[in-house]
Amino acid sequence: MISVAPNCEKHTVGYPLTGIAGTVVRRREISGFSISDNVYPEGLHLSRHYHKDAYLNYILAGEFSECYANTRATCAAGMLRFLPPEELHENNYGSGARCLIVKIDSSLVSRLGEHESVLSTPGEVQGFASTWLANRLHREFVAEDDVAPLAMEGVLLEILAESARAIGHADGIRAPKWLKRVRERLEDGYLSSPSLTELAEIGGVHQVHLSREFRKHYHCTIGEFIRKRRVEHACRLLSQTNTTLSEIALMCGFSDQSHFSAMFKAHVGLTPAKFREMS
């Protein structure tokens, strides 16, 4: 169990301004972005620090913990994370990790207009659209042809736009604390399909009120939210493992492979087999 100080304040006075740690395997520079493949050794601990620029971090392998703004997060392979400029944070690489790190020029963030304020929030960029784009980015990063820089720039701009949508939908940010507790339970247990009664008890509200407020703030029903999270989990398994489609269907809570394939295509626009082939 990694112990991390619970009071990671936002202010940076007295804390070091640093570059990116770890060993750089490869680095590529394109307009407005610096992209590097970094390896972090087992046991590396980075005490509280901050960076001048904003960063995207696509975790290729391993796992580490990150503490920021009174939050401790576990960052595992397949996740795409965003860190705003000057965000005070702390990292512990217990078993080591390998990450694709993207440093973002501040002028690019400002080009997002009304979405710029959303990208002041650290955290995981959720959704299969963002992780699919991050996977594409990695493929272009290792490509050797002269088209790769142009392709990477296009993918990165798409990721920033998706990040702005995914990190902080305005209505979700304004959701009451009890509803955020319910959503946290869903994020932790979408594979187990908790009952509406259980969720209402967590929020301390009536089931009807829960259903109405959830749809109001998150623009989907609880059932739709669970299905979407299951499809996103399936995307990770399809792209990162050799698990069979029938096994993935059961692991992700679908009744059978046929149900899984139909639901997956409805959300992603591709069959699971085609998605795996493209990944």
Instruction: Render pLDDT for 214-226 as a digit per residue (tens, 0 to 9).
Output: 988 887 889 988 9
Question: Tokens standing for 7?
Answer: 């009071």
Is the same domain home to 161 and 175?
no
- Domain with residue 154: its CATH number is 2.60.120.10
Regarding whether 121 and 221 lie in a shared domain, the answer is no
User: Is 6 a member of any domain?
Assistant: no
Residue 45's identity, in one-letter code, is: H
Q: Are 162 and 183 part of one and the same domain?
A: no
Instruction: Give CA–CA dist 141/114, Å, rounded.
Output: 29
69-128 tens-digit pLDDT: 778 888 888 888 888 888 899 999 999 999 999 998 877 766 655 555 556 778 887 766
Structural domain contains residue 103: yes
Q: Does one domain contain both 158 and 66?
A: yes
**Do 200 and 207 meet the contact criterion of CB atoms below 8 Å apart?**
yes
Residues 158 and 223 grouped into a single domain:
no
Residue pair 272/254 in contact by the 8 Å Cβ criterion? no
Phi, psi of 185 (to 5 degrees): -65, -40
Host domain of residue 233: 171-278
Q: Which pLDDT score is estimated for 3?
A: 27
Question: Do residues 129 and 62 both lie within one domain?
Answer: yes
Q: How many domains does the chain have?
A: 2
Looking at the structure, tell me whether residues 179 and 45 fall in a common domain: no
> If DSSP codes are grouped into helix, strand and coil, which group holds residue 30?
strand
Alpha carbon distance 261, 235 (integer Å) = 12
Classify residue 1: in a domain, yes or no: no
Residue 64 backbone zone (phi > 0: left; psi -120 to 50: alpha; other: beta): beta
28 and 133 co-located in one domain: yes
pLDDT, tens digit, 9 for 90 and up, residues 151-181: 898 888 888 777 666 554 545 557 889 998 9
Query: What's the CATH number where 188 sits?
Result: 1.10.10.60
Q: Are residues 157 and 218 in the same domain?
A: no
In a domain, 238, yes or no: yes
Same domain, 260 and 206: yes
* Single residue among 168, 200, 217 that ends a domain in this structure: 168
Whether residue 130 sits in one domain with residue 250? no
Decide: helix, strand or coil at residue 110.
helix
